[in-house]
Protein backbone atom coordinates (compact mmCIF):
# COMPACT_ATOMS: atom_id res chain seq x y z
CA UNK A 1 0.00 0.00 0.00
CA UNK A 2 1.36 3.41 -0.96
CA UNK A 3 1.29 6.10 1.68
CA UNK A 4 1.15 9.84 1.31
CA UNK A 5 4.25 11.73 2.38
CA UNK A 6 4.84 15.37 3.24
CA UNK A 7 7.64 17.10 1.33
CA UNK A 8 8.72 20.40 2.88
CA UNK A 9 10.64 22.65 0.51
CA UNK A 10 12.05 26.14 0.69
CA UNK A 11 8.99 27.38 -1.22
CA UNK A 12 5.99 25.27 -0.21
CA UNK A 13 4.79 22.01 1.32
CA UNK A 14 3.72 19.21 -1.01
CA UNK A 15 1.66 16.21 0.08
CA UNK A 16 1.65 13.32 -2.35
CA UNK A 17 2.53 9.75 -3.23
CA UNK A 18 5.80 8.65 -4.80
CA UNK A 19 5.06 6.56 -7.87
CA UNK A 20 7.51 4.03 -9.24
CA UNK A 21 7.00 2.15 -12.44
CA UNK A 22 9.12 -0.02 -14.68
CA UNK A 23 7.05 1.29 -17.61
CA UNK A 24 8.40 4.84 -17.23
CA UNK A 25 11.95 5.94 -17.98
CA UNK A 26 13.24 9.41 -17.09
CA UNK A 27 16.26 11.00 -18.74
CA UNK A 28 17.75 14.34 -17.71
CA UNK A 29 18.54 16.61 -20.67
CA UNK A 30 20.60 19.80 -20.43
CA UNK A 31 20.65 22.17 -23.40
CA UNK A 32 23.58 24.32 -24.55
CA UNK A 33 22.40 27.18 -22.28
CA UNK A 34 22.25 25.07 -19.11
CA UNK A 35 18.45 24.71 -18.96
CA UNK A 36 17.33 21.34 -17.68
CA UNK A 37 14.55 19.17 -19.06
CA UNK A 38 13.25 15.68 -18.33
CA UNK A 39 12.50 13.27 -21.16
CA UNK A 40 9.72 10.93 -20.04
CA UNK A 41 9.44 7.71 -22.02
CA UNK A 42 6.29 5.63 -21.55
CA UNK A 43 4.55 2.94 -23.54
CA UNK A 44 2.11 5.58 -24.84
CA UNK A 45 4.92 7.79 -26.18
CA UNK A 46 7.46 10.37 -25.15
CA UNK A 47 7.26 13.89 -23.73
CA UNK A 48 9.74 16.52 -22.57
CA UNK A 49 9.07 18.62 -19.48
CA UNK A 50 10.80 21.86 -18.53
CA UNK A 51 12.55 21.33 -15.23
CA UNK A 52 12.48 24.53 -13.22
CA UNK A 53 13.47 24.51 -9.57
CA UNK A 54 10.41 24.54 -7.35
CA UNK A 55 12.26 24.54 -4.05
CA UNK A 56 15.03 22.70 -2.24
CA UNK A 57 13.85 19.79 -0.09
CA UNK A 58 14.17 20.56 3.60
CA UNK A 59 12.38 17.53 5.03
CA UNK A 60 10.43 14.44 3.93
CA UNK A 61 7.92 13.11 6.45
CA UNK A 62 6.57 9.55 6.13
CA UNK A 63 2.95 10.68 6.52
CA UNK A 64 0.70 13.74 6.45
CA UNK A 65 -1.04 15.68 9.16
CA UNK A 66 -4.78 16.01 8.58
CA UNK A 67 -4.78 19.42 10.26
CA UNK A 68 -1.95 20.68 8.06
CA UNK A 69 -3.65 19.30 4.94
CA UNK A 70 -6.92 21.01 5.91
CA UNK A 71 -5.14 24.32 6.56
CA UNK A 72 -3.31 24.17 3.21
CA UNK A 73 -6.55 23.35 1.40
CA UNK A 74 -8.35 26.26 3.10
CA UNK A 75 -5.61 28.69 2.02
CA UNK A 76 -5.77 27.49 -1.59
CA UNK A 77 -9.57 27.69 -1.67
CA UNK A 78 -9.48 31.22 -0.25
CA UNK A 79 -6.99 32.26 -2.97
CA UNK A 80 -9.31 30.85 -5.63
CA UNK A 81 -12.29 32.70 -4.19
CA UNK A 82 -10.38 36.00 -4.30
CA UNK A 83 -9.76 35.74 -8.04
CA distances from 26 to 11, 12, 38 (A): 24, 24, 6
Query: What pLDDT shows up at residue 32?
Result: 94
The stretch 22-48 carries a mean pLDDT of 91
pLDDT at 4 over 90: no
The pTM of the full predicted model, rounded to 2 decimals, is: 0.62
Query: What pLDDT shows up at residue 18?
Result: 84
User: For residue 14, what are the domain limits?
Assistant: 5-82
For the chain, how many structural domains are there in total?
1
What are the two backbone dihedrals, phi and then psi, of residue 36, each rounded to the nearest 5 degrees? -105, 145
Query: What pLDDT shows up at residue 40?
Result: 92
Query: What pLDDT shows up at residue 28?
Result: 94
Q: In the structure, what pLDDT confidence band is assigned to residue 1 with cuts at 50, 70 and 90?
A: low
Amino acid sequence: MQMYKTYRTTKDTIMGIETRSVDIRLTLIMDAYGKEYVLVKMQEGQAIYNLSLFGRVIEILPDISFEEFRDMTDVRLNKLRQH
